[in-house]
Amino acid sequence: MKIAGTGGGFDPNTYKAEITKVEIIAGHVQIKFKKGQSDGVNLYSRLKGQSVWKFVSRDTNSPYDDYTALAVPGTPEVREYQAYGVLSDQQIGQPSDIVSVTFGG
């Protein structure tokens, strides 16, 4: 008896990282993510309205706590976050959906 697989293998080119929740906790931003079949994620952020993403961190365990200070002290800002999967120390796949949070410090 031969058993055939259904295919559906992991494709690093089409893999899409997932940020599941972003919230403010005790003066920092907490980012929860699912790494799925990747080794971890590369997290990027930018202020709303900017075009350039800034690398924040590579993380292998959710959540990640972002302690980045406000760009202008005392002035709340809307931060956007995005993640990519990482496999064998290489960024892979497609970017996650963009999530945003208003951070006041």
Based on the structure, what is the number of domains in the chain? 1
In contact, 22 and 97? CB cutoff 8 Å: no
> Does 68 score more than 70 pLDDT?
yes
Among 55, 38, 44, which residue's Cα sits nearest to residue 92?
38
Q: Which two tokens stand for residue 13?
A: 């080119």
Boundaries of domain holding 44: 18-103
What's residue 8's pLDDT? 64
Would you say residue 4 lies in a domain? no
pLDDT digits (tens, 9 = 90+) for 20-65: 999 999 899 999 999 889 999 999 999 999 999 999 999 999 999 9
So what's the pLDDT on residue 6? 54
> What is the reported pLDDT for 66?
97
Question: What is the pTM for the complete model shown?
Answer: 0.87
Flag whether 13 is in a domain: no
CATH number of the domain that 40 lies in?
A: 2.60.40.10
In a domain, 56, yes or no: yes
